[in-house]
Amino acid sequence: MSLEQNIQVLVKDAVKALYGVEATDAMVQLQKTRPEFEGNLTVVVFPFVKLARKAPAQVATEIGEKLMADGSGLIARFNAVQGFLNLVIDDAFWVKQLEAIDAEANYGQQPDRHQLMMVEYSSPNTNKPLHLGHVRNNLLGYSIAKIQEANGWKVVKTNIVNDRGIHICKSMLAWLKFGNGETPETSGKKGDHLIGDYYVRFDKEYKAQIAELMAKGMDEETAKKEAPLMLEAQEMLRKWEANDPEIRALWAKMNEWVYAGFDETYKRLGVSFDKIYYESNTYLEGKSEVEKGLAAGQFYRREDGSVWADLTKDGLDEKLLLRSDGTSVYMTQDIGTAKLRFQDYPIDKMVYVVGNEQEYHFKVLSILLDRLGFPFGKELVHFSYGMVELPNGKMKSREGTVVDADDLMDKMVEDAKEIYLEKNDQSPMSNVQCDEVARMVGLGALKYFILKVDPRKNMLFNPAESIDFNGNTGPFIQYTYARIQSVLRKAEKLDDLGILGNLGGLDPKELALIQRLTEFPQTVRVAGDNFSPAVICNYAYDLACDFNSFYHDLSILNEPDAAKRALRLLLAKNVGKVLNAAMSLLGIEMPERM
């Protein structure tokens, strides 16, 4: 039973004994004691004031005295401040809590729920490499999956690759016209970078054609539609959907280049997937479902042959599902993908990690799936997150100014190595060890900085700020962990860790650390309930701060009292364990040495 549960039972018993009333669980409101008051846990007594018909301070005092007299030994002392009862928990309880934490290998892991959650993230297009926006998406998706696993869910991590459509045809057409047979091998470029170059090249040539048509008197909108490159790309898409063998062969070859590039980036970023779906395999399923809905009167066909859904009764507008030429749109593809997923897995909860600019899309998808008779339609969860901005503005991928994920990771690791070498001029580490630490620290800085922000907010990514070894950063927490491992390596007898003996009372710094450790399981639950890696980041930072304060004020290895030394080593060991567990939920590796 947790401390909170213990106190809840004791308070309910005290209220019944004092005032003859059966208090409900909801009436017993507990919170962490504010730092300006003595105490570990505070009981809010206002819910009992009317029952007692006494002043709040008197009620708090009476309940405190009753708790002290109950014989449990849990409460060492108390103080009443108006309607708040601040409880000081006996040191013996905290020592037992620390021993229990030490004994639990998977501390913080919740019991198996026997339910399956699918988390979709990444969703790249095969016409360009992954960029900073994808980095936030992948880090959020992977961390959410890890956090939900810690909360007892069986999680299937999935990706839907946008491998068809007009944007893919643009890269293909540009490569045919301007590529001269260039390949990743001949160019020395990753496949996704190579194809991205041709997507940019298409846009450049397309804009030139628009300008040329406008110079001849055509208005801009018409010029965009009539530009030869756009007409050719649209014809290529029609041929693709008609299974033209040459177009399909080119498409397969270029996509393989891109997939190889994506795999390198995912591996380096430390994210993975259990199942990858491809829109080229799901869009026909979507078309089939739309046609069934059309036959059942759920949708309607316009004079030009396009198929639409009327959502005005749902407070939305009309949504295109099939173009006049019969080609699919994203919505149609997502219907097919959802159908296949629920055929493949017994999903209890489906979570889409997609930016907030797609909120309308997922409202529509939920309504359409429900209309088509899929019972899971109303239960879809769109985890909406904000955009990433840079100090010099937003990214613009089609203009070739995108912040590439690979380049970003290169820069983060390079900066981490430079800072590390400045701090460790006499480091005994080999070059290989130094490179590995720089990799962990650079990527840890990137991941932590992105994940510590409330995911629903837009964020400004500042690489220089993210890699600071002081403040609320990944490197600060990693350095704290490495410091702990150094202390443990220096300890002469680690076998003494569990032999605490007669401590003679806990120092406030020791007590604060133990209490923070006991909060980890609840932190994991809150992060899961709110789909928020930021909750884990905040906890890890607070725990690291508490340890550094403890480390600064109290001796560990040089403490002459054997029992106190054993306690402090046990504390250090378990702070390291919990820091490592918390950061692993963020996909961040922890170096043993720094």
Residues 146 and 58 grouped into a single domain: no
**DSSP designation for 314:** G
Residues 304 and 429 grouped into a single domain: no
Convert the pLDDT of each residue in 171-214 to its tens digit.
999 999 999 999 999 999 999 999 999 999 999 999 999 999 99
Convert the pLDDT of each residue in 384-440 to its tens digit.
998 887 776 444 444 445 688 999 999 999 999 988 887 776 556 677 888 999 999
Length of the chain counted residue by residue: 594
Residues 214 and 321 grouped into a single domain: yes
Q: Which domain does 544 fall in, by range?
A: 405-584
Could you tell me if residue 590 is inside a domain? no
pLDDT band for 165, please (50, 70, 90 cuts).
confident
Q: What is the mean pLDDT of the chain?
A: 91
Closest by alpha carbon to 591, among 505, 485, 488? 485
Top-confidence range, 64-78, 369-383, 437-451: 437-451
Output the domain CATH number for residue 450.
1.10.730.10
Query: For the purposes of burial, counting CB atoms within 10 Å of the CB of 232, is it exposed (0-12), middle (13-18) or buried (19 or more)?
Result: middle
Q: What is the pLDDT of residue 402?
A: 66
Report how far Cα 155 is from the mean position of its chain's Cα atoms.
14
- CA–CA distance, 530 with 541 (Å, rounded to integer): 19
Position 529: which residue type?
D
Greater confidence, 95 or 424?
95
20 C-beta neighbours (distance < 10 Å), count: 8
- CA–CA distance, 590 with 491 (Å, rounded to integer): 20
| Average pLDDT of the residues in 36-40 | 92
Residues 78 and 133 grouped into a single domain: no
Residues 147 and 67 grouped into a single domain: no
The pair phi, psi for residue 484, each rounded to 5°, is -65, -45
Could you tell me if residue 259 is inside a domain? yes
Convert the pLDDT of each residue in 100-136 to its tens digit.
999 999 999 999 999 999 999 999 999 999 999 999 9
508 C-beta neighbours (distance < 10 Å), count: 10
| Average pLDDT of the residues in 331-350 | 93
Written in H, E and C, the secondary structure of 87-128 is: EEECHHHHHHHHHHHHHCCCCCCCCCCCCEEEEECCCCECCC
Could you tell me if residue 62 is inside a domain? yes
Residue 515 has pLDDT above 70, yes or no: yes
Percent of the chain having pLDDT more than 90? 79
Residues 60 and 172 grouped into a single domain: no
Could you tell me if residue 301 is inside a domain? yes
Residues 335 and 437 grouped into a single domain: no
Q: Which of 346, 374, 399 marks a domain boundary?
A: 399
Residues 368 and 434 grouped into a single domain: no
Q: Which of 399, 423, 448 marks a domain boundary?
A: 399
Residues 361 and 430 grouped into a single domain: no
| Average pLDDT of the residues in 513-541 | 96
Q: What is the pLDDT of residue 419?
A: 86
Q: What is the pLDDT of residue 303?
A: 94
Closest by alpha carbon to 160, among 322, 355, 406, 336? 336
Could you tell me if residue 115 is inside a domain? no
3-state secondary structure of 160: strand
Position 7: which residue type?
I
pTM beyond 0.85, yes or no: yes
Domain count, the chain: 3
Q: What is the pLDDT of residue 398?
A: 41
Could you tell me if residue 591 is inside a domain? no
**DSSP designation for 141:** H
| Average pLDDT of the residues in 508-530 | 96
pLDDT band for 493, please (50, 70, 90 cuts).
low
**Do residues 87 and 80 lie in contact, with contact meaning Cβ atoms separated by under 8 Å?**
no
Closest by alpha carbon to 257, among 330, 199, 203, 205? 199
Q: Which of 350, 382, 399 marks a domain boundary?
A: 399
Query: For the purposes of burial, counting CB atoms within 10 Å of the CB of 268, is it exposed (0-12), middle (13-18) or buried (19 or more)?
Result: middle
Q: What is the pLDDT of residue 425?
A: 61
Q: What is the pLDDT of residue 500?
A: 62
Could you tell me if residue 113 is inside a domain? no
Residue 325 has pLDDT above 50, yes or no: yes
Residues 427 and 558 grouped into a single domain: yes
- CA–CA distance, 451 with 454 (Å, rounded to integer): 8
Convert the pLDDT of each residue in 551-570 to its tens digit.
999 999 999 988 899 999 99
Could you tell me if residue 109 is inside a domain? no
Greater confidence, 138 or 420?
138
Of the candidate ranges 314-318, 444-448, 488-492, the one whose mean pLDDT is the lowest: 488-492
Strands 349-355 and 84-89, sheet pairing: unpaired
- CA–CA distance, 442 with 479 (Å, rounded to integer): 12
Output the domain CATH number for residue 281.
3.40.50.620
Residues 83 and 143 grouped into a single domain: no
Query: For the purposes of burial, counting CB atoms within 10 Å of the CB of 245, is it exposed (0-12), middle (13-18) or buried (19 or more)?
Result: exposed
Residues 365 and 444 grouped into a single domain: no
Output the domain CATH number for residue 32.
3.30.1360.70
Closest by alpha carbon to 364, among 320, 307, 327? 320
Residue 487 has pLDDT above 90, yes or no: yes
Record the tokens describing residue 336, joined without a space: 């097919």
Residue 497 has pLDDT above 70, yes or no: no
Convert the pLDDT of each residue in 204-253 to its tens digit.
999 999 999 999 999 999 999 999 999 999 999 989 989 999 999 999 99
**DSSP designation for 498:** G
| Average pLDDT of the residues in 75-86 | 94
